[in-house]
Amino acid sequence: MSRAMWSVLWWPLALTLGCGPSTPTVTPATPGKPLSQAEADAAFAEQARYINFLDDVSVQSAPQADLKTLSLTDTTGKQVVLGDVAPGRHLVVVMTRGFNGAICPYCSTQTARLIANYSQIQKLNAEVVLIYPLEADKNQSLLQDFLRKVNSVDKRSAEELPPFPVLLDVGLKVVDTLGLRKDLSKPATYILDPTGSVRFAYVGNTLNDRPSVKAIVQQLQQQQAAEKSE
């Protein structure tokens, strides 16, 4: 079965498992006739309209691992230390779930909304870093499939890249260091201050259990205010 078909068929299953909000109206594929890529992307974008994240979140305990020292891989294969991505700025680090039989519409929607609100985050002296976990290096094509779905949410060009860094966790080393392993990873969001200290941590227990962009912006504003008062 094609990944395009999986992207549509996965949605009712997620709702059955209690992972999604109210049921969207998505036109099913005609029996015996696979969806075209354009049809699959359109159906995927329709799903995103019904996804909501949390505006009100509580800060969880920071992981014991030193996030700024974590080593990841950029899309060219170069090793990147997280703390070197944007020196002197806050980092909004978002761990997606990776590909576990289907492209997660929640991860795609979350990423699309970060792109749409990126300028607002930048104004708060912050950079976004998106981490996409991969079981093996040979699976890198899955990232391109994921980013195409991200672009379909806001009807951006299929090949357009996010305006912020996208890093790969090949072999799930970072996922395991942070204790996130679950099909491949739990969704997680961390905010690091300019020194690399974790000021906000949130690990979701379900697919849509994630801070919204509004919640992230509020956390950055609070941190910025606290820094000015020091």
Residue 114's pLDDT is: 98
**What's the pLDDT at 139?**
87
Least confident of 21-30, 79-88, 195-204, 220-229: 21-30
Closest CA to 126 of 165, 178, 169, 78: 165
| Residue 15 confidence (pLDDT) above 50 | no
Instruction: Give residue 35's pLDDT.
Output: 78
Q: Which of 12-16, 216-220, 223-227 has the highest mean pLDDT?
A: 216-220
Query: How far is the first Cα of the chain from the last one, in angstroms, to the nearest whole number?
Result: 57
Residue 94 Cα distances to 30, 130, 148, 157, angstroms? 36, 5, 18, 23
pLDDT tens profile 136-166: 988 889 999 999 999 999 889 988 999 999 9
The pLDDT of residue 41 is above 80: no
Contact 153, 45 (CB under 8 A): yes
Average pLDDT taken over every residue of the chain: 87
Bridge partner residues of 130 (DSSP): 94, 166
Over range 66-84, report the average pLDDT: 96
13 pLDDT exceeds 80? Answer: no
Pairwise CA distance, residues 222 & 216, whole Å:
10
pTM here?
0.84
* Residue tagged 């696979």 (tokens): 34
pLDDT, residue 36, reads: 82
Cα torsion 131, 90, 165, 72: sign: negative
DSSP state for residue 135 in the 8-state scheme = S
Q: What are phi and psi of 139, to 5 degrees?
A: -95, 15
Please check the confidence at residue 27 and state whether its pLDDT lies above 70: no
Q: Which is more confidently placed, 228 or 192?
A: 192
User: Encoding tokens for residue 205?
Assistant: 């227990």
Give which of 92, 106, 55 is closest to 211, Cα–Cα. 55
Partnered with residue 103 across adjacent β-strands are none
Domains identified in the chain and CATH numbers: 54-229 (3.40.30.10)
Q: What is the pLDDT of residues 168-179, one digit of tens each?
A: 999 999 999 999
Overall average pLDDT of the 83-104 stretch: 96
Distance CA 113, CA 129 (A): 14
Residue with tokens 């950079």: 127
pLDDT at 8 over 80: no
